[in-house]
């Protein structure tokens, strides 16, 4: 069975602060994919990143960066210089051999002006 844990239910920061969202996963699959999705107040799920289990290189995309550590089964997401528009619920997800996405419970990020 697969499991994704996002222990931070809610995080509140002031604009321009950096913030890291934690994600810990469990799977028996040797090949799997990890994802982050953003769900803004409008409700849609927006794809942010996909990472396969063989690629532990960290990734940076603008103000977003991801830290994948297989040794600790973590795939953390950092937003640098946060902005009010970053306010959303962020979901970490895992796709294993069954090709089903297992989502974490989400982290509500609020960025205050």
Partner 1 sequence: DSGVTQTPKHLITATGQRVTLRCSPRSGDLSVYWYQQSLDQGLQFLIQYYNGEERAKGNILERFSAQQFPDLHSELNLSSLELGDSALYFCASSDPSGPEETQYFGPGTRLLVL
Residues of this chain that interact with partner 1 (CB under 8 A) are 33, 35, 37, 43-47, 50, 91, 93, 95, 98-103, 105-106
Q: What share of the chain is helix, strand, coil (3-state, %, to 5)?
A: 5, 55, 40
SS3 (DSSP) at 78: strand
Q: What is the DSSP letter of 16?
A: T
The bridge status of strand 24-26 relative to strand 59-61 is unpaired
Q: d(Cα 55, Cα 27) in Å, to the nearest integer?
A: 16
Long-range contacts of 55-59 (CB under 8 A, 24+ apart): none
Please identify, using beta-carbon distances, which residue of 34 and 82 lies nearer to partner 1: 34
CB of 42 to partner 1, least distance (A): 8
CB of 9 to partner 1, least distance (A): 12
Please identify, using beta-carbon distances, which residue of 23 and 93 lies nearer to partner 1: 93
Please identify, using beta-carbon distances, which residue of 83 and 100 lies nearer to partner 1: 100
Please identify, using beta-carbon distances, which residue of 2 and 76 lies nearer to partner 1: 2
């Amino acid at each position: 069975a697969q499991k994704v844990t996002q222990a931070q239910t809610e995080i509140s920061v002031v604009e321009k602060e950096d913030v890291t969202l934690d994600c810990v996963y469990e799977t028996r699959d040797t090949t799997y994919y990890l994802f982050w999705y953003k769900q803004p107040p409008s409700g849609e799920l927006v794809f942010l990143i996909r990472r396969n289990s063989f690629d532990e290189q960290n990734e940076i995309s603008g103000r977003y960066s991801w830290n994948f550590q297989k040794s600790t089964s973590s795939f953390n997401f950092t937003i640098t210089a946060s902005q009010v528009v970053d306010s959303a619920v962020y979901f970490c997800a895992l796709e294993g051999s069954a090709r089903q996405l297992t989502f974490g419970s989400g982290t509500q990020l609020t960025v205050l002006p």
